[in-house]
Amino acid sequence: MAPRSSWKGFLRLSLVSVPVKAYSATNSGEEIRLNQLHKECHSRVRYQKVCPEHGELKSDDITTGYEYAKDQYVLVDPEEVQKLRAQSDKTIGIDGFVPPDAIDPKYLGGRTYYLAPDGVAGKKPFALLHRGMEDAGVAAVATIVLGGREQLVLIRPTENVFTMSVLTYARKVKPLDEFTPLQEPQELTDDELGLARTLISASTKEEFDFSTYEDRYVANLQQIIRAKVEGEEIVEAKDHEEPKILNLMDALKKSVAEAQAARATETPAPKKKQKKATKRKAAPSAKAGKKAPARRATKKKSG
């Protein structure tokens, strides 16, 4: 079954417009939603929109507004907002290109989309822009209107599509200066730094496979649901008691030993067999077989 697009428009760079479709990169099927129930009869809790003067309201009775003073509102109709939207709202406008690591990961907002060409007409310009960005090793900073709001996005070429990540504006992220007083400069000894570096080195993964990580919350919730349906009792998992280590050096030494032991027991990934390179015999040259004439040693005449 083909994926359903969540947005349709144009990816624009200067005068070049590429028709594209955006697809959510998040697999929502993995989520488990719990409903609120009445504790006594287990009936599902319903939410009603109520006006203190007129009671329960229908959707047609509700509008939106902004409180500019205490209990004073100015009405803002969604249709009025729609009128202010320009045709560019259906355009991803590329502002410029930057190195892939130019934007700090703290600005990644968490929403990710895949961009693919829309129709036959978009395939060639899409491939051209994709290949050009790939060859240049750059990402694009662009703007797009999603959910009625202009969003800043980072677009990267990934395999045969573009990955579009929504960014959080810099002014919405707290500056690091606020947290400077929380950590004072510390004196670190050479032994402590040496052990810390050894621990990091021993814990560094030679081959990293992100797909091996699973959402344990979802897995545990599924286990609880199955047990409840089958009438089984939920047994609390016990944590392994670890010896209390108060000394930093002892903790580092123990951690290094455990990390090195864990690495020693890891089974290395099977290496792909490399084909032996076959040596090509050089074609015989015209001078082949002729030996260079031996140099005769000459004695200097004594004067």
Contact call for residues 115 and 161 (beta carbons, < 8 A)? yes
Residue type, 97: F
**What does the pLDDT look like over 135-164, one tens digit per residue?**
999 999 999 988 778 899 999 999 999 999
* Helix (H) or strand (E) run with residue 164 in it: strand 161-167
Q: Which residues contact 4 (CB under 8 A, 6 or more apart)?
A: 23
- For 149, the domain range is 7-26+89-172
User: Does some domain include residue 237?
Assistant: no
Residue pair 76/64 in contact (Cβ under 8 Å)? The answer is: yes
Residue 154 contacts residue 162 (beta carbons within 8 Å): no
- What is the CATH classification number for the domain harbouring 12? 2.40.290.10
Contact 10, 20 (CB under 8 A): yes
| Predicted local distance difference test score (pLDDT) of residue 54 | 87
Q: Are residues 79 and 106 in the same domain?
A: no
- 14 with 156, same domain? yes
Q: Are residues 19 and 147 in the same domain?
A: yes
Q: What is the pLDDT of residue 300?
A: 45
At 48, list the tokens: 């009603």
Domain for residue 110, yes or no?
Answer: yes
On the CB side of 213, CA atoms within 13 Å amount to 3
pLDDT of residue 94: 95
Pair 78, 115 in one domain: no
Residue 291 has pLDDT above 90, yes or no: no
Do 68 and 199 reside in the same domain of the chain? no
Does one domain contain both 135 and 251?
Answer: no
Mean pLDDT of 37-58: 86
Q: Domain tally for the chain?
A: 3
Cβ neighbours of residue 99 closer than 8 Å, sequence gap 6 or more: 137, 138, 139
Q: Please state the rounded mean pLDDT for residues 84-108.
A: 84
139 with 253, same domain: the answer is no
Contacts of 136 (CB under 8 A, 6+ apart): 97
